[in-house]
Each structure stands twice: as C-alpha cells, then as structure tokens.
Structure 1
Amino acid sequence: ESVLQSRVRQVEESRGKRPAAFTDFRKLLEDRSIDAVSIATPNHWHALMGIWACQAGKDAYVEKPCSHNIFEARQLVAAARKYNRIVQHGTNARAGAALRDGIDKVRSGLIGDVYMARGLCFKWRDTIGRTPDEPAPAGVDYNLWLGPAEKRPFSRNRFHYNWHWNWAYGNGDIGNQGIHEMDIARWGLGVRYPSKISSMGGHFMFDDDQQTPNTQVATFEFDEGGKKRLLVFEVRHWISNHEAGIGEGKGTNTVGNTFYGSNGYMAIDGYEKYRTYLGKGREPGPAMSEGGSNWKNFIQAVRSRNREDLNAEIEEGRLSTELVHLANIAYRLGRTLHFDPETLSIRGDEEANRMFTRDYRAPFVVPEKV
C-alpha cells in the first residue's frame, strides 16, 4: 500500500492528474475505461493475472517469464487467443534495432551454418542470509500477495526482492535474467521445442535461505527440420571473466549471447549491441548499436489490433518461458529430459510431467478452461 501510494504521487506530480489506485487487481479489471494493463508482479502471479485481463477484455503487457510453470504459460496463450487480445511478453530485447538486425544476419547466413547459441548471465549475487517468520508489515495484503501459492507465514526472504530465489514464487536467475538470453538464442536459431534438456548446478558458497541455484548450466538440443542445433545457457553468481568481449568495461554484471556458425561468430552485448567476427582470421564484420522500445511497440499493436505487429507476442514468450521451466525441472530432478513435440510432454517421465503445474490455492486458481 505504501509503494502504491508513492507511485500515485509520482504520476500525479509528473502528469498533473491523480490516477485511480487499486490494491486488488480484480477490482481494476472491473473498470471498463481501462484498455490495457501491465503485469509486473512476482512470477507466480503473471499468468493468472494475464488470463483474468484477457477474460475482462483488456490487452496486457506480461513481464517475463510469462508464467511460474508450463501449464500456466499455455493457458495464458489460450486466453489471449480465445478473447482476441493483444498480449506482449516482457522480453524487451526483441525491440532493439541492433538485435533485430543482428538476428536477421544470423538467420540469413552471415556467420554460416549456425550450430550453437550460448546465453550468459554473470551477475554478482551476495548471500541473502536468513530471516525468521514474522508478521507481515503494515500495508501489505499478504494473502493477496501469496495468491496462487500455498499459505505460509511471512518472511522477508520470501518477499521482495528475494522471492526470486524461492521455488514457490520465483524461478531463479534462469527465470529472472536468463529468459532474456534464452529468448534471443531461440530467436536466432529459429527453433521452437527442444528434444533433449539437461541442467546442472547448485547453490554455492553461501548457507542461507535461497532455494534456487546461483550457478547453473542448461543445455537444450534441437532436432527440428532434421538439423541438430544446441542452445546453452549459463548463470554465474560471483567473480568471473568476460567472454567474447561481452560486458567488458561495464563492471561486475554481464549478460549477452554468442552465436557460432561455420563462417564465424556473433557476440551480442546486452540488448542493444552486436559484433561479428568472420573467417578463420576472425576478422571484424558487421556491427551495430541501437536500442528500441517494447512498450512503444505494444501500444502500437493495441491500436492496430494486429498481434503480428508485436515484437514479443505471447506465443513467442511462452516458447522461451517453457525453456526456463524445462531446465529447472531437469535441474531439480537431476536427470536429462526427452521432450515430445507432438504431445508437448516429457517422454516416459511422469514425475517430470507432474512438475508442469502446481497445486493452486483457492480462489487464485489458473483454470483448466479459460
């Protein structure tokens, strides 16, 4: 409530008009004057709020990842289609002019036959320590915050920002940051569903409340079109080197991608810059640095009513979000998964398939029928 009111004041000061404020998202959806919503809650709320928005006739910008699990992502896309809504995913790198140009070059053969894409997230994450259960702070509607998740006592390490590192609400850094890089990698490779998924890692150095890994490597094998390609993503949480010049001169945090082909490689630094190196001599090739606005693109699509105008339409968001969840399932079970693109399930592994969804706390239930 205190954060909400501070944001109300900011808008009033910048725009000269006091906006309406809602604590309960369901009440906001009853307002017929609202055309579109932005959903930037903890991950466990993303899909359900997005589904509710579609059902209420609102367009939605849904932050990444678009769901807390695979079932939710698919239900969100189903709702967007059923109610004919414009739904943008928060993988905002797709708005960057440089990245759009770079991906076009990758897919048109500049670096030759592309066989592997690698995403990286090297961010210094210190220990979160341990915090006890305690009463929720004044102004926090904790029941509403929990929403679909199981009821349990409040703890600051399960609240903002550290909910990312608890399986009940977040998906670790692979879901927090890695979704961006895996989306770029999948985009460049031009693939949809992996055939094989492996992931390993752990929570190193610290003894604290964090459940998710702070160091993780995920590998996806794609066989679409009879052509094998690899997508590799890595999280490192502490002191590390830079790779392919990505992040040099930017301090401790590095995110980016590298595409490897038969005639060279492309290094994507962040969301707005790429460089290429061609031939056995790794001679500098085309390069570009220019960003863009995913929000501007969303508003334009809301006006045009054409979902094909979106940079990151929710179906693309779903496909990349599912990579996050598949990697985490492989990590948590400690085994390789074999994905069936026809049934959209894991072959011969019911334990893994059960992890596609969760038990929901009424009335915050992601519906089987949207």
Structure 2
Amino acid sequence: MKRLSRRLFLKETLLTAAAASAGSTRVLVAEDQAKPSRSPNERLSVAVIGVRSRGGDHAKAFDSRDDCVLSYICDADSAVGEKVAARFKSKPKFVQDMRRIFDDKSVDIVSIATPNHWHCLATIWAMQAGKDVYVEKPLSHNISEGRRMVQVARKYNRICQGGTQYRSTGSNHAAAQYIREGKLGRIKLAYVCTYRSRSSIGPAGQYAPPPTVDYNLWSGPAPMELPVRRKSFHYDWHWFWNWGGGELANNSVHPVDAMRMVVGLEGLGRGVLSYGGRVGLEDCAETPSVQVTIHDFGPMTVVQEVRNLKTASPKRGSTLIVGTEGYLSGGAGGSSVYDPDGKLVQKLSGPNEDHFANFIKAVRNRKTEDLNANINEGHISTADSTVAYPVITTTTTSGYSCLILSSTSMPLRPGIFRSRSTRSKASLASIPSPVGPSGATSTLLALRAIACRHESRMDSSSSITRIRA
C-alpha cells in the first residue's frame, strides 16, 4: 500500500466525514453493502485494532471461538502488536496501518480498542469497507462523531455493537423487567458513580514518542503533539482532551449505559449542570479528578459522579435508582431492591450472555434488534456521559477551583443546548456529596445557589453548542 503523508491523510479524513454526512458513496464503499447471512459452518475473519490493553481481550475472545479466525492484529506500536500477534496459534498477520485491513475483502469483522480519538473514524472506515464492527466504549470522542457513526451504520446496513457489556448482564435485565412491571413505582432519581483511584502522571515535560510507535498513525485525526507532554505515552492520553475524556469517558460510560437500560431512559434530557476540577493530583493532566454532573430529565433526575481520589467503594454498589415504592441498588455484580424504609425486598439475578457471542449472533442473522448494545444505544450513553464537555475545557490544581455549568430552560431535546459557564472558587468541601436521594437534592440546590451567586459575573450572551443525539 502506498504510504500517505500526514497532510493527505487528514485531507482524506475530512473527506470521509463529509461523505458520511452528505451521503456520498465514493470513499471506501463496499461492493457488497449488506452481505447475506453466513452459514454456521463458515468461519468469520476477524481483525482487532489496538491491542495494548482491552484489545488483547477482544483478540482472545474471538480467537477462542470455533466460528471465528483471528486474521489481523493492528497497533500503531509495533512492539505491542507483534508481541500480541505472536501469542496466538492462528498466527494473525500484524500490521501498523489499519487501512490495510479495510483493503482486505476477506475480513468480515473489525474489533476496535484504540484510543478514543480513533473510535469514530476507524468504525466509519470499516463499515464503509463492508465490515461489521465491535467498538469499545466510549463509542466516540464527542457527540457529533457518534451521530455520524450511527448514520453510517444505517446507510450501509452494518452490524455495530458497542463495548458496553453490562447490557449483557443478567441482573441488569432482571432489574429492567422489575421496573417495567411498575414494582418500583415512578422513578425519581438515578445516581451512578465511578470511584477509581489514580496516581499523579507527573509534571509536563518534553518527551519523544516511543521509537516503536508510528506517531503519525497513532495520532490519526487528532492533533500531533510534539514534544509529548506526558512521561508515560500509553494510557495517560486518557487525561487529555485531544485524545481522551477523563474518567467520564473512560469508565463512567458503563454505569450510565446500564442505568439507561434498566430505567428505559432515552435522549439527553432537558438540561445539565456540572462541577468538578483536577484536585488532589499535582500533574500536567487536563481532565477533572473529581466531577459531578446532574441531568434534568423532567420528573427524573440523573446524577453521575467520578472520583480519581482514594475513596471507599459505595457499600451498596455503584448505582442507586429511587422510585416512589422503594429503591434499587447494585452494580455489575448484581442488584437488590429495598422498600422505602431500607428493608431488603428482593435480590435480582439472571443468566449472563457473552457480549461477543451476542455480537456474532447478530452478524450471522443480520438482525440489529438482536444486539444487546446497538450502536445507537452506545451513542446516547456516551453522549449522556460526556455532555458536560462543552464547559470543561480547562481545570486548575490551585485550591479547589470548580467549573460551573448553569443550564437554562432551553431543553436538550434533539436541538440546541444553551449554557453559560463560569469558574468559581467555591470549596468542594462546602458542597454536599450526592450519596443518595437527599444528597443529590442538596447538591443540586447548592449548585443552583452558586450559579445564581455568580450570575452577575457571567456574560449575558450565552454560548450555543449543538448536541443533537
């Protein structure tokens, strides 16, 4: 394959996005846009892109199946990719450039576990080349990208599953059924948290990418920072906006997605209010180490909290759903129902389904309705998890600086999200922790008070960001 210059590569990237939006079929279009159902005796050829971390699990999952053959391992770091490829007896071919995979018409499935900034473009290119796609969470790097991915999947009739595997957990399906039957009453509040202790990534420096990394291919559609500020090249990209989205995008997507499935939540709600900052960690990272986002869904309020500081795990799990007839709490390991007085009513359980097997089933029967995590669900969950992005553009490690997002009466429908933001020196310690229904309510009131207090300092002309789901 002819090697492209970075300028030409980025030009093709923009043309691809334009083609997806405008409906052009001239860029990487598959000759057979909707392949017929395959015989159960025919093995599916699988390529995995990005294998340093979660992608290695993808490769193991597909390689372990009798109906699949692992044909390609792709990674921008040749040392990582070659090492992973050598583990498998099927002897998958290693490539650094994912476009070589898309050029191979024998490949049926592309599984993507790259850094976040590559999820959208790699998925679009793969579907345009006639491949079905399994893509890790978060589905996209921003809301607009997610919309394009959904549009392309529908246009080319591709099977695309998001890597939000909690949708295949039996206890979550049992919880959803319990709520659908009205046993929890009217749902008033859903609270999800992700407590994941992180260490400082160190001060900003001037580093070169590892010699085994093709930095041009690693950066792809994102800015190509030189010199690199972070000492640890791999993984710590999560904490910079150009490539990651902090813990909101990294892990909060999982409980948010499971909560949405359990309560049947759709869309982006009517407004969002968020505060947070990078506190407790002195380093060069950009994303918050603590953050609370409060979503207004009319009669229902959703609160999501992330902490990268040392914090004990919630005793009753990472998810709390409060209804008029009691509440439900739990997480990936199971859920329990309690009455309004806190007395245990029922423990919920059910058979789990292998998330990769669920994807393969849909690939063979061509029924998107069989997917547990259809691309559109992954898109909405990613959008709900990261909707606070428009105002969180900078953080500070001095004091307890917060970023306040004051939502107006303008709804989020599919339409316009109007927000005003300001920085407040309010101490995080002075804001109640949303550990339950009363905590969430008091936090919301406290934040509204802070927002009103600083209203006179805000620019009267609101910034407008389109976040159509």
Per-residue deviation at 1:328?
A: 2.3
| Alpha carbons 1:273, 1:289 under 8 Å: kept | no
Deviation at 1:10, TM superposition (A): 0.8
Given that residues 271 and 412 in structure 2 are in contact (C-alpha distance below 8 angstroms), is that contact kept between their aligned partners in structure 1? no
Given candidates 172, 178, 184, the residue that maps to 2:252 is: 178
Q: Taking structure 1 as reference, are residues 348 and 162 closer, same or farther at Cα in structure 2, changes over 3 Å only?
A: closer
- The question of whether the paired residues in 2 share the 8 Å contact of 1:99 and 1:272 is answered with no
**Cα distance in 2 between the residues matched to 1:130 and 1:281:** 46
- What percent of counterpart residues are identical? 36
Unaligned runs of 5+ in 1: 247-255, 358-370
TM-score by length of 1: 0.86
Report what 2:406 is aligned to: 336
Structure 2 distance, partners of 1:155, 1:299, is 40
Where 1:50 maps in the other structure, the secondary structure is helix
Is 2:237 aligned against 1:237? no
Paired position in structure 1 for 2:387: 326
> Is 2:238 aligned against 1:164?
yes
Specify the alignment match of 1:363 in structure 2. Answer: none
Find the residue that maps to 1:133 and give its secondary structure.
coil
Q: Is the 1:272–1:291 Cα contact (8 Å) retained in structure 2?
A: no
The residue aligned with 1:220 is 295
Task: Tell whether 2:81 aligns with 1:4.
Answer: yes
RMSD of aligned alpha carbons: 2.1
The alpha-carbon deviation at position 167 of structure 1 amounts to 0.5
The residue aligned with 2:359 is 298
329 and 107 in structure 1: CA distance in 2 versus 1, 3 angstrom threshold? farther
TM-score by length of 2: 0.68
How far apart are residue 348 of structure 1 and its match? Answer: 7.0
Corresponding residue of 1:366: none
Query: Does residue 1:189 correspond to 2:250, yes or no?
Result: no
Question: Equivalent residues in 2 for 1:99-110 (5 A)?
Answer: 99-110=172-183
Q: Is the 8 A contact 2:316 2:330 kept in 1?
A: no
Residue 108 to residue 155, structure 1, CA distance change in 2 (3 Å) = same
- Highest Rg: 1 or 2? 2
- 1:201 is aligned to 2:288: no
What residue number does 1:66 align with?
139
Structure 2: any 5+ residue segments left out of the alignment? Answer: 1-77, 394-402, 421-461
How much does 1:191 deviate? 2.2
Q: Given that residues 197 and 330 in structure 1 are in contact (C-alpha distance below 8 angstroms), is that contact kept between their aligned partners in structure 2?
A: no
Cα contact 2:281–2:289 (8 A) shared by 1: no
Deviation at 1:185, TM superposition (A): 2.0
Aligned to 2:280, the other structure's residue is in SS state coil
Question: Residues 160 and 43 of structure 1: is their aligned pair in 2 closer, same or farther, counting only changes over 3 Å?
Answer: same
Following the alignment from structure 1 to structure 2, what is the Cα–Cα distance between the partners of residues 32 and 324?
Answer: 36
Q: Taking structure 1 as reference, are residues 27 and 142 closer, same or farther at Cα in structure 2, changes over 3 Å only?
A: same
8 A Cα contact 1:47 1:76, kept in partner: yes
**Comparing both chains, which one has the higher relative contact order based on Cα–Cα distances under 8 Å and sequence gaps of 6 or more?**
1
Write the distance in 2 (CA, Å) between the matches of 1:206 and 1:241: 18
Q: Evaluate the alpha carbon distance shift between residue 133 and residue 298 of structure 1 in structure 2; reply closer, same or farther with a 3 A threshold.
A: same
Q: Deviations over 1:147-169 (max 9, x none)?
A: 11112213444731111100100
- Counterpart check, 1:353 vs 2:465: yes
Between 28-37 and 318-327, report the one with greater CA deviation.
318-327
1:242 and 1:18 mapped to 2: Cα distance?
Answer: 42
Measured after TM superposition, the shift of residue 320 of structure 1 is 0.8
Structure 1: how far apart are the matches of 2:231 and 2:180? 43
Q: Which SS does the other structure have where 1:265 is aligned? A: strand
Q: Who is 2:455 aligned against?
A: none
- Structure 2 Cα separation of the partners of residues 68 and 229 of structure 1: 27
**Structure 2 match to 1:253:** none
Q: 1:18 deviation in Å?
A: 1.1
Name the structure 1 match of 2:454: none
State which drifts further: 102-111 or 207-216.
102-111
Aligned counterparts of 1:322 and 1:206: Cα–Cα separation in 2: 27
Q: CA deviation at 1:352?
A: 4.6
Corresponding position: 1:50 with 2:128: no
* CA–CA distance in structure 2, aligned partners of residues 235 and 2 of structure 1: 33
Determine the C-alpha separation between the residues in 1 that align with 2:315 and 2:419. 39
Contact 2:270-2:413 at 8 Å conserved across structures: no
Q: Is residue 2:97 matched to residue 1:24?
A: yes
One-letter code of the match for 2:92? P
Instruction: Report the alpha carbon displacement of residue 344 of structure 1 after superposing the two structures with TM.
Output: 2.8
Aligned to 1:286: 347
Q: Indicate which of 363, 372, 378 corresponds to 1:317.
A: 378
Establish whether residue 111 from structure 1 lines up as the match of residue 203 from structure 2.
no
